[in-house]
Chain A
Amino acid sequence: MKHLNIMFLVLLSLFISPKILAQEIYQTNQVITTFFSTTPIEDIKAVSNSGASILNTETGEILFQIRTRSFQFRKALMQEHFNENYLESEKHPFSSFKGRILDKINFGKDGEYQVKCSGNLIIHGVGRKREILLTIQVKNGQISIKSQFDVACKDHDIKIPKILWENIAEVISVEVNVNYQKLTNE
């Protein structure tokens, strides 16, 4: 009888849990990430629109992964230097964030929620524990997230040569825009 109970539980978990999990996961590979470096001499802006993100609304887990090479600059040479000298994209092809939403919110209910999210931000191969504010919008079952935060170059071991200090900001402002799609069972 005991064995039967366990068997039943195992079977139940096999059939049900993937379904439940699938229903709780939202994903996209069109995360729009923009960063700005502002100095009196030069303003630099770059955009990536092919970042990947996954959100688990049940556990609050949230993952981001952005290819360094996907950032587009206005000046091609600047883009090359960004990859070659600063982010070293051949050694570190991705920037990522792996974290958890700390506040409990009801994703089933329409509205705008300001939440805190804590996790590990990895840029240039250097990880930092961060708490980042997110604005989550739920509308007719569609989930979107907006966030703005700062990244200090020296926190991630990104070295700016002295003669370019005036051109590149020490603190870079980052904006992230995500529109999730529900992961459907195939």
Chain B
Amino acid sequence: MNKFFFCLLLISTFSVCAQDMDSIMQNLDSGAEREFVQATFKSPRLVLLQTNETQNKGDLAFWIGHRFGDIGGEFGGSHTLFGLDVATDLYIGFDYGITDRMTIGVGRSKFNESYNLLAKYKLLRQHEFMPVSVTLFGQSNWITRKAFNNNEFPSQNDRTSHFFQATVAKKFSPSFSLMLSPGYLFRAQPQDPQEMQNLFSVGIGGRLKIYKRFSLIADYTLVNGLGRSKDLNTEYYNPLGIGLEIETGGHVFSLNFQNSSYIIENNFIPNTQKSWEDGGVRFGFAISRNFNLAGR
């Protein structure tokens, strides 16, 4: 009897000891720093839309985008090798991280021979107690091509457009993220004279990791029905892009299909005249390369 209790006593002492070690470990770790959710998206751009991601401090990203011609329809088919003969838009740009939250960038588009400046700021970052990330984005575009007629651009100001967007993003799991991006575009002189200067948009986008470095990406931008005039002579469509994103170290490649011919928001939000239904879909790709300029 006595021995039995003595054994019990020994065992209980040992278990107290084991518990102690683990609970001490828990106490030790409770002082961990706040960890922000990282890599909600792998690239500053999804297919068409900007994501909530910015560059890290001192990082420079070189981004090249390409949009081919229509796969089908009047302008596609075998005559243009399903659009591969045509480049509807090309974009070359640099983004630089001033801080971990603030990025500025500059770029040039083939469409309208335009130059753009952009700024992106991470307002909120998702963490344990913050359910979403919010990033503000602003972009001004300047058309430099010759005017098609004398009164197309009466002043330099008429060549400009300005786009503002707030991106609300959430990483639900390591392999699934979603974003919602309300936007507002102001064009000093819309290319379509029937159109108003103000245009509103709502973008939705997502990323689904299908294999370690491969993700399916898609985004859709609602433009029609948000106060845009309904009786325009030209038919405009909502841009939809679907793609495959491949990550290899410092590079991110994106292979995609979309009905928009143009790359930056100031161009594709107002000017998407092609539709997925009538062969207006095109192939496109993007390459981003990251350079670390300032060693931390």
Contact = CB atoms under 8 A, between A and B. Distances in A.
Contact of A6 (B2, B32, B290): B2
Interface residues of B, number: 38
Contact of B212 (A76, A77, A85): A85
Contacts of A183: 24
A112 B207 CA distance: 54
Contacts of B24: 25, 27, 54, 183
B277 interface: no
Given A29-B29, A164-B248, A164-B249, A77 B35 contact: no
* Most A CB within 10 A of own CB, among B9, B100, B213: B9
A81 interface: yes
A161 B31 contact: no
Interface in B1-50: 1-2, 5-6, 9, 12-13, 16-17, 20-21, 24-25, 28-29, 31-33, 35, 38-39
A65 B30 CA distance: 12
Contacts of A10: 5, 9
A5 interface: yes
A65 B292 contact: no
Contacts of A69: 35
B292 A77 contact: yes
B59 interface: yes
B9 A90 contact: no
A52 interface: yes
B38 A80 contact: yes
Nearest to A5: B2
Given A9-B5, A13-B9, A85-B213, A163 B248 contact: yes
A39 to B, nearest CB: 13
A25 B23 CA distance: 12
Contact of A159 (B13, B29, B212, B250): B212
Contacts, number: 96
A184 interface: no
B25 A63 contact: yes
A111 B284 CA distance: 67
B225 interface: no
Nearest to B22: A63
Interface string A55-87: 010010101010101100011110011011100
28 contacts: A2-B2, A10-B5, A13-B12, A18-B16, A21-B16, A21-B17, A25-B20, A25-B21, A27-B24, A27-B28, A29-B28, A52-B28, A61-B21, A67-B32, A75-B295, A75-B296, A76-B100, A77-B59, A77-B290, A80-B39, A80-B56, A81-B249, A84-B38, A85-B212, A88-B174, A159-B212, A161-B212, A161-B248
Interface of A: 2, 5-6, 9-10, 13, 17-18, 21, 25, 27-29, 50, 52, 54, 56, 59, 61, 63, 65, 67, 69-70, 74-77, 80-81, 83-85, 88, 90-91, 159, 161, 163-164, 167, 183
